[in-house]
Chain A
């Protein structure tokens, strides 16, 4: 059991458990799974600046902030306490692509240090991957009305065609970045 907990979990264990979060939140308190809303609540709590979209009773949505705090705690427990393999076991083809196209050499940890280090804020990589990337995540999810959890999992589970449109958009953006913009960035 401990062995299982310390290794990475296969998709057929993790996926159904993630899916069960949808009914769990509904049954426990009539809440719809959706994580990007927490970003809006934090903005509304900290810098509403008189913006109508940020002027609402965010305290009524405090559950969402507790849920997100839990996710951070889960990240600590899942990675630091339960343990983790030294490298994420991605396919050999991906390793090959990342080596040859993105010139990565260090495959340890959850994300490549060569792209994700605070020192990189001194050059374009940090600003593109950390700042522009993060900005697009926050801007895009709110504009689309949800992220992977709210649209892909919660929305599609409830057969929302709007969520299907959103998910097609997510993938289109991801594919354009990976297949067309990455090669330009690393050419």
Chain B
């Protein structure tokens, strides 16, 4: 089963998100009110660790377990990066959750997470339908 490794990595990721409480609405409010370092520490140190890892992968030309060359696609700019980013930010402060934490909340037994995920799916679907008419 080639997808088992992603299930395992996702499970570890979900445990870390939950144990560090970044899945909590309270923590997100604390972050947007600049009242604790916790969230900044989590996100900042995650970025530093990711950055160092990617530099090492590039420098030593590391390959995947199957021996493939590692591909890192560049992110493309569009006005949507600003506008969509801002709209997501509004939603992030309301729900107190980005997509990963929504799934972790669902697993931890928060019933409203199911409603928020359905609404997020509706949002993604609506964007997909309107995509050609948006800037």
List residues of chain A with CB within 8 A of the CB of B15.
74-75, 77-78, 82
List residues of chain B with CB within 8 A of the CB of A28.
5-6, 9, 64-65
List residues of chain B with CB within 8 A of the CB of A126.
115
B88: min CB distance to chain A, Å:
3
- Grouping DSSP codes into helix (H, G, I), strand (E, B) and loop, the A interface class, with mixed when no group exceeds half, is helix
Question: What interface size band does chain B fall in?
Answer: 35 or more
Contact check, B51 vs A159: say whether CB atoms are below 8 A apart.
yes
Question: What interface size band does chain A fall in?
Answer: 35 or more
Interface assignment of B131: CB less than 8 Å from any CB of chain A? yes
Could you say which of B26, B48, B76, B99 contacts A35, with CB atoms under 8 Å apart?
A: B99
List residues of chain A with CB within 8 A of the CB of B129.
49, 51
Could you say which of A5, A22, A165 contacts B53, with CB atoms under 8 Å apart?
A: A22
List residues of chain B with CB within 8 A of the CB of A8.
19-21
Contact check, B123 vs A70: say whether CB atoms are below 8 A apart.
no
For the complex of A and B, the 5 pairs showing the least CB-CB separation, nearest first, are A173-B89, A74-B14, A70-B10, A169-B85, A143-B84
Known A-B contacts: A11-B40, A28-B9. Give 7 more (CB < 8 A).
A35-B100, A70-B6, A74-B11, A74-B18, A137-B120, A139-B127, A166-B82
